[in-house]
Amino acid sequence: MPDDHDTNRLMPGQLLARGVSRALRSHDFVSVEELTPTSGLRVDVMALGPKGEVWIIECKSSRADFQSDHKWQGYLEWCDRFFWAVDSDFPTELLPDDTGLIIADAYDAEIIRMGPEAKLAAARRKVMVQKFARHAAVRAQAARDPGFVGLVPYSLV
């Protein structure tokens, strides 16, 4: 049963990210939110597949949100596939045809169009998997011990 308390405290993009993360589990992907692949970039969702695939998903809650994003092309060099996640009311004709498309809500999502594959170099993949692992570990530790002030801020992971 949906938890209305959660949907009231999360921003629209965070709700999309939650639905995307839930759906990706059915494809055997695990995910983290708000990961920084490099200085100046922060992805909404990074997913890691069962064979080490790295996907980046950018969640856009409105036309204005999409049109104000001038950094998204910088994400392409940090993943094997790139996707936009939007809700069913989003004008999808605004999104580039050569990117993936996911239609999502707060509870689920569906991959409508696969993003083209551009395999990461082995060294870059290793860096991204390590960033993913560290980010996930810090988030898990913060969930277990929310009062501990020695945790590194998520943005530095």
Query: What is the pTM assigned to this prediction?
Result: 0.87
Please, are residues 112 and 99 in contact by the beta-carbon 8 Å criterion?
no
Whether residue 98 lies inside any domain: the answer is yes
* Distance in angstroms between the alpha carbons of the first and the last residue of the chain: 33
Closest CA to 81 of 102, 60, 107: 102
Whether residue 154 lies inside any domain: the answer is no
Whether residue 156 lies inside any domain: the answer is no
pLDDT at 155: 47
pLDDT at 7: 60
Query: How many domains are there within the chain?
Result: 1
Whether residue 133 lies inside any domain: the answer is yes
Give the CA dihedral 126, 104, 16, 86, nearest 10 degrees: 90
- DSSP reduced 3-state for 40: coil
Whole domain around residue 117: which residue ranges?
Answer: 4-146
Whether residue 155 lies inside any domain: the answer is no
pLDDT in tens for each of the 157 residues of the chain?
455 555 668 888 899 999 999 999 999 999 999 999 999 999 999 999 999 999 999 999 999 999 998 899 999 999 999 999 999 999 999 999 999 999 999 999 999 999 899 999 999 999 999 999 999 999 898 888 887 766 555 444 4
Whether residue 16 lies inside any domain: the answer is yes
Whether residue 20 lies inside any domain: the answer is yes
Closest CA to 102 of 91, 86, 115: 86
Whether residue 157 lies inside any domain: the answer is no
